[in-house]
Amino acid sequence: MIQRLDWDRIVVPVDLPEVRDEISYQRVVMNSGSTWDYFPGHFDPTYAESQGHPTIFVNTMHLAGFADRIATDWAGPESRVVRRTMRLAGSIYAGDTMVGRGRVVAKRCDTTVDPPRYLLDMQIEVANQRGELCCPVELTLQLPG
Amino acid sequence: MTAPISYRLTFGTYEDALQMVGVATEPRTAGTVVSAARIQMFAATVRDGNSSYWDAEFATSTWGGLLAPPGLLMGWLTPPPWDPTGQPPVSAIALRVPLPGTTFINAANEAEFPLPIVEGDRLTVVEKLVSVSPEKRTRLGVGHFVETLDTFSRQDGAVVATNRNTLFRFTPGAQT
Q: Is the residue at A55 inside a domain?
A: yes
Confidence class of residue A123 from pLDDT cuts 50, 70 and 90?
A: very high
Distance from CA of B72 to the nearest CA of A (A): 6
Asked whether residue A116 is domain-assigned, the answer is: yes
The model's pTM is 0.94
The yes-or-no verdict on residue B175 having pLDDT over 80 is no
Task: Using an 8 Å CB-CB cutoff, list chain B residues near A46.
Answer: 1-3
Q: Which of A134, A138, A121 is nearest to A63 (CA)?
A: A134
pLDDT band at B176 (very low <50, low <70, confident <90, very high): very low
Closest residue, chain A, to B160 (C-alpha): A82
pLDDT computed for residue B41 by the predictor: 98
Q: Choose among A116, A121, A142, A144: nearest CA to A16.
A: A121
Residue B115's pLDDT is: 97
Residue B2: predicted pLDDT: 40
Rounded to whole angstroms, how far apart are CA atoms A10 and A80? 17
**CA distance linking residue B156 with residue B104, whole number of Å:** 35
Nearest alpha-carbon partner for B155 in B115, B113, B124: B124
> Domains (ranges, CATH) in chain B?
14-33+79-172 (3.10.129.10)
- pLDDT mean across residues, chain A: 94
Which residue range is the domain that position A126 belongs to?
A: 11-143
Compute the distance between CA of residue A135 and CA of residue A67 in angstroms, rounded to an integer: 9
Q: Which of B44, B140, B172 sits opposite A30 (nearest CB)?
A: B44
Q: Which residue of A has its CA nearest to B117?
A: A80
Res B6 pLDDT > 60: no
- Mean pLDDT confidence for B35-42: 98
Q: What is the CATH number of the domain that holds A102?
A: 3.10.129.10
Asked if pLDDT for residue B1 goes beyond 60, the answer is: no
Q: What residues in A contact B42, CB-CB < 8 Å?
A: 34-35, 61, 65
CA distance B50 to chain A (A): 6
Q: How far is A127 from chain B (nearest CA, A)?
A: 15
Q: What is the pLDDT of residue B81?
A: 87
Q: Cβ contact (<8 Å) for B2 and A47?
A: yes
Nearest to B6 among A27, A38, A82 (CB): A38
Q: Does residue A3 lie within any of the structural domains?
A: no
Residues of A with Cβ-Cβ distance to B62 under 8 angstroms: 77-78
A2 domain-assigned: no
Looking at the structure of chain A, the number of domains it has is 1
pLDDT in tens, B41-93: 999 999 999 999 999 999 999 999 999 999 999 999 999 988 888 887 788 89
Query: What tens digit of pLDDT does each residue of B88-136 get?
Result: 778 889 999 999 999 889 999 999 999 999 999 999 999 999 999 999 9
pLDDT at position B174 is 58
